[in-house]
Amino acid sequence: MTDATAALATRIRDDLDRIAHPRASWLTPRRAPDGSAALDVLVVGAGQSGVVTAFGLKRAKVDNVLVIDKAPRGEEGPWVTYARMKTLRSPKDFTGPDLDIPSLTYQSWHEARYGADHWRALDLITREDWNAYLLFVRAVTGVTVDNDTELLSLEDAGGLIAARVRGPGGERVIHARKVVLATGQESTGRWWMPDFIEALPQPLRAHTADAIDFAALKGKVVAVLGAGASALDNAATALEAGAASVHLFCRRLEPQVIQPYRWITFRGFMKHLADLDDEWRWRFMARVLGLREGFPQATYDRCASHRNFVLHTGAPWTHARAEGGRAVVTTPQGEFAADFLISGTGIAMDFSAKPELSAFHDNILTWADRYAPPEDERNDRLGAFPYLSPDYQFMEKVPGKTPWIAHVHLFSIASTMSFGPSGSSINAMTTAVPRLVDGITKGLFAADVEANWQAFLAYDVVQANVRETVQGLGQAAE
């Protein structure tokens, strides 16, 4: 840490201390069945959403919080793993992890590290700098994280949740009153590719989320399925690694270049979409997720600057086979042979694919269970999203079968259908994290209402010491 960033850290801690109202602790420690201390909240995922949620809880005086992440420190989230863009796509002045603390904004950190002139000249934030900033936020706010620790299962434990985890010391059980799943893109599903691609030998194909050896693609013909931003990022990375040619296949006749998330980034939508009825929420989010995320000019230019980049439109893949050590895909325009396939096909909702959801995966309420849209708005892919409570909790398909899942809050990309941009979204943090934190604290307070009432009745701290004799009416003063 440089002198400037150390000074900034001191300033942030001072700012947080100045606004730490109310300061009173208000939660009574709970004991697990084995007698150990239970957490108030276990947050799973130490990416931006998990760390900022823990920070928000600390500001609400919920201090008995632990964050776990299966990745090593510094590799949480996508930023230095499978994210392959050069910069963030969000404008540099979008705030989020700071939770409206000016000294904690990315701009403050950037200026401390590089200077104000560098900030003014900056176009977009590099993903490496964003990752470093998130680690700074984690350190300066005092969020406790256990890295290299994977969640294996969640189970009911009589008023608590038992989370079985595996970490450096082996397997153990952590008990908590509340659990937040801030587990990113694949939180309630799996990275998906068409079955006929997945059936190919592994050396011939990968998903954009996989660890791809791009250096091995030098001199190769690469075919990419999908025309979203991440598909183009992977195409560009292959081109920059020296691929002989990269062919990107788009099912649309024209690529999607509108970015719907730019339009919906205003406080009314971000804060109150979840307050609308199901009809309006479905209508808005079905259009947003139906358009999907358009790619910006810089992303396209990164590919198009290479003469060996070819964009095929109106060309979905309908079949694939291995032949002579290559992959041959079938499209409406004919067959195409490539040395390697990259599938930029996103996520499929599949609760059964997540071990941590195994105890209740078949009882998670979905949008398809709750709402039947007009036929012209029907979308089975979106109907598979979980239908969440106003506080981001899982809800039951069959009421009473697994009531304890009301203590599990989902804050990830899968929250999108219920809340719009929320978990896994930089631009939504300033509205989404406070709503999540309020939902968690509401549940904690309501569960303790009887104990709080008894504590209130027993409250006898004297406010003033009356030392002089008080005369009653009718008494004459001497």
Please report the pLDDT score of residue 44 as a whole number. Answer: 98
239 with 231: CB under 8 angstroms?
Answer: no
Please report the pLDDT score of residue 475 as a whole number. Answer: 57
Please report the pLDDT score of residue 470 as a whole number. Answer: 63
Range 363-402 burial, b when 16+ CB lie within 10 A, else e: bbbbbbbeeebeeeeebeebbbbbbbbebbbbbbbeeeeb
pLDDT in tens, the chain (478 residues): 789 999 999 999 999 999 999 999 999 999 999 899 999 999 999 999 999 999 999 999 999 999 999 999 999 999 999 999 999 999 999 999 999 999 999 999 999 999 999 999 999 999 999 999 999 999 999 999 999 999 999 999 999 999 999 999 999 999 999 999 999 999 999 999 999 999 999 999 999 999 999 999 999 999 999 999 999 999 999 999 999 999 999 999 988 888 888 899 999 999 999 999 999 999 999 999 887 777 889 999 999 999 999 999 999 999 999 999 999 999 999 999 999 999 999 999 999 999 999 999 999 999 999 999 999 999 999 999 999 999 999 999 999 999 999 999 999 999 999 999 998 889 899 999 999 999 999 999 999 999 999 999 999 999 998 887 666 665 555 4
d(CA 229, CA 89): 9
- Closest to 278 (Cα-Cα) out of 363, 395, 369: 369
d(CA 370, CA 24): 40
d(CA 166, CA 248): 40
Q: Record the pTM.
A: 0.94
Please report the pLDDT score of residue 424 as a whole number. Answer: 82
d(CA 398, CA 248): 44
In eight-state DSSP terms, residue 199 is T
3-state SS class at 205: strand
289 with 382: CB under 8 angstroms?
Answer: yes
pLDDT tens string 175-194: 999 999 999 999 999 999 99
CB-based burial label for 26 (10 Å; 0-12, 13-18, 19+) = middle
d(CA 5, CA 15): 15
- Closest to 5 (Cα-Cα) out of 77, 98, 106: 106
